[in-house]
Amino acid sequence: MTTAAKAVQTTGTTAASARQVTKTYGAGETRVTALDSVDVDIQRGRFTAIMGPSGSGKSTLMHCLAGLDTVTEGRIWIGDAEITGLKDKQLTKLRRDKIGFIFQAFNLLPTLNALENITLPMDIAGRKPDKAWLDQVVETVGLADRLKHRPTQLSGGQQQRVAVARALAARPEIIFGDEPTGNLDSRSGAEVLTFLRRSVDELGQTIVMVTHDPVAAGYADRVLFLADGAIVDEMLAPTADSVLERMRRFDGKRTS
């Protein structure tokens, strides 16, 4: 299993892709087009941020890419594996084997310590964690001296770093985060973002993060800008300032 997962990680340069993906909710007069013919490729070993106004389709795009929601039209791949058309059981297995998630709420189990929380998904799946990898993850997140602590004994930033370590521990092909720093103060947010950055630079992880925060987006390699369910722009090597400036221009367009 571990060998197969590693082999997948080192082949190809695209970790996820979408072709002509449309997602509509509801029908008739209440029909909403959340995604409108989206084409996107997410590069492996990169940190991609998805930005856009509230309601622009950020969460929907992430959920469709991650197989948490079905598309109305179009196709999605995780690595070489097409996920559109998979049966529930196959999709659940693919998500478990290839995808990690970090949510706004840390979703840690209060009765387990940090280390037990980190290895829980693998324990449930009956997989043995790779000890060397786990040590490296724990070291990178800076949690080595906190492993025996319960979530209530950790700060918000530390709890979210446990959640990130949990996502990384299984060496997923790709990690998705929806506003992973949304519940954190700026200092804890910076702590988690620095760690996400390091996991890309030092561990080769692929990360896709939805955010509305230009500072958070400034940690990414690439920012995709969504508006009304379509990708309207992208920026490489973003900084907080350049992202903010770009957002102001969008706002200007909309109000003029």
Residues near ligand ADP, by CB under 6 A: 25-26, 32, 34, 52, 54-60
The entry of ligand ADP, Mg ion, none that residue 57 binds, CB within 5 to 8 Å by partner kind: ligand ADP
Query: What's the closest the beta carbon of residue 217 comes to ligand ADP, in angstroms?
Result: 14
The entry of Mg ion, ligand ADP, none that residue 194 binds, CB within 5 to 8 Å by partner kind: none
Question: CA–CA distance from 120 to each of 26, 97, 123, 162, 172 (Å)?
Answer: 36, 14, 5, 11, 15
CB atoms within 10 A of CB 87: 8
Is 249 buried (19+), middle (13-18) or exposed (0-12) by CB count in 10 A? Answer: exposed
Query: Which residue, 32 or 144, is less far from ligand ADP as judged by CB?
Result: 32
- CA nearest neighbour of 79 among 144, 153, 9, 152: 9
Query: What's the closest the beta carbon of residue 36 comes to ligand ADP, in angstroms?
Result: 11
Query: What's the closest the beta carbon of residue 84 comes to ligand ADP, in angstroms?
Result: 18
Q: Determine, following the binding rule CB under 5 A, whether residue 70 of this chain makes contact with Mg ion.
A: no
Q: Which two tokens mark 196?
A: 């996400």
The answer to whether the CB of 100 falls within 8 A of the CB of 196 is no
The entry of Mg ion, ligand ADP, none that residue 167 binds, CB within 5 to 8 Å by partner kind: none
Side-chain half-sphere exposure of 39, counting CA atoms within 13 A: 1
Q: Determine, following the binding rule CB under 5 A, whether residue 24 of this chain makes contact with Mg ion.
A: no
Q: Determine, following the binding rule CB under 5 A, whether residue 183 of this chain makes contact with Mg ion.
A: no
Query: What's the closest the beta carbon of residue 226 comes to ligand ADP, in angstroms?
Result: 6
Q: Which residue is nearest to Mg ion (CB)?
A: 59
Q: Determine, following the binding rule CB under 5 A, whether residue 59 of this chain makes contact with Mg ion.
A: yes
- CA nearest neighbour of 164 among 107, 88, 95, 219: 107
Give the helix ranges, DSSP H, for the chain. 2-10, 58-65, 88-98, 114-125, 131-141, 156-169, 186-201, 214-217, 240-255
Question: What does the alpha-carbon distance between residue 168 and residue 136 come to, in Å, rounded to a whole number?
Answer: 10
Binding segment (CB under 5 A) for Mg ion, from list 4-12, 59-67, 94-102, 157-165:
59-67
Instruction: Provide, for the chain, the percentages of residues in helix, strand and coil under a 3-state DSSP scheme, each rounded to the nearest 5.
Output: 45, 25, 30
The entry of Mg ion, ligand ADP, none that residue 56 binds, CB within 5 to 8 Å by partner kind: ligand ADP
Query: Which residue, 12 or 26, is less far from ligand ADP as judged by CB?
Result: 26
Query: What's the closest the beta carbon of residue 248 comes to ligand ADP, in angstroms?
Result: 18
Length of the chain: 256
Query: What's the closest the beta carbon of residue 108 comes to ligand ADP, in angstroms?
Result: 23
Binding segment (CB under 5 A) for Mg ion, from list 38-46, 55-63, 121-129, 149-157:
55-63
Q: Which residues bind Mg ion (CB under 5 A)?
A: 59
